[in-house]
Amino acid sequence: RAAKARRVVLVGASFIAMEVAASLIHRKLQVHVVAPEAVPMERVLGPQVGEHLRRLHERNGVVFHLQQSVVAIDERRVVLKDGNAIEADLVVIGIGVRPLIDLAERTGIKTDKGVLVNEYLETSIPEIYAAGDIARWPNPLTGDHIRVEHWVVAERQGQTAARNILGGRERFDVVPFFWTTQYDFTLNYVGHAETWDKLDLKGSIEEHDCKLSFRRGGKTLAVATIGRDRESLESELAMERAVQAV
């Protein structure tokens, strides 16, 4: 589709949407991004990184329509809630996923924005397990149930669940991680912080040389690094040791 398109509208400002935007800009297409938030990816990465990414994309030609939503899509355009319309040959929607939990609910398995599992990935019904994007498991560092949409997590959970189905009793205590590359910008993220009360920044985001620590209650829940791969690995190792100590 992109090979024949000239104007593209991306709905959403998630990691996938932003990576698609960078990819399509490399193809010399006109790219517009529509999203409800005021700062892209602020909820996950904080306002400083979000603003940097917005400026980075704008310098490369992306046009943002923030604090907006889509009310209609037809063959030639996308209509926004403020009444403005954007001409488009291609529309890409990257607004997240909703877990399909109907089957679990019908069988009486406990759910909460996903299928609830214990540290062994076992559901509330013994000998029934869940893994992957649908599973919400207890984070050993906080006790909160979390759900992570990343293929590495899904792959490793599947392996752990399989061993436990075969009679093992293995905790799933892997520290989640992901990364994103957009233009010349690469960010690595380890841990999981849905909310935080303190964000420590060391270094410079603009110079692509920094470390951000997402903290809550004095505890580091996640670390994002730009241009500091060694510190990312060291942070991951520290979290693994903290988990093993629980």
Four-way CATH pick for 177-245: 3.40.50.1820, 3.30.390.30, 3.40.190.10, 3.40.50.11260: 3.30.390.30
pLDDT surpassing 80 at residue 240: yes
The edge-to-edge listing of strands for the beta sheet with 85-87 is 70-73, 77-80, 85-87
At residue 95, the 3 state secondary structure works out as coil
Domains of the chain, by residue range, sit at: 2-93, 102-165, 177-245
pTM of the model: 0.89
How do residues 139-165 score in pLDDT, each as one tens digit?
988 889 999 998 999 999 999 999 999
Four-way CATH pick for 102-165: 3.30.2020.30, 3.40.50.2300, 3.50.50.60, 3.10.20.740: 3.50.50.60
Do the first three CATH levels of 102-165 and 177-245 match, i.e. the same topology? no
Domain 2-93: CATH architecture, name and number where available: 3-Layer(bba) Sandwich (3.50)
What are the strands, taking DSSP E only, across the chain?
7-11, 30-35, 63-66, 70-73, 77-80, 85-87, 90-93, 115-116, 135-138, 145-146, 177-182, 185-191, 198-204, 209-216, 219-226
Q: Which one has a higher pLDDT value, 98 or 129?
A: 129
How do residues 10-41 score in pLDDT, each as one tens digit?
999 989 899 999 999 999 999 999 999 999 99
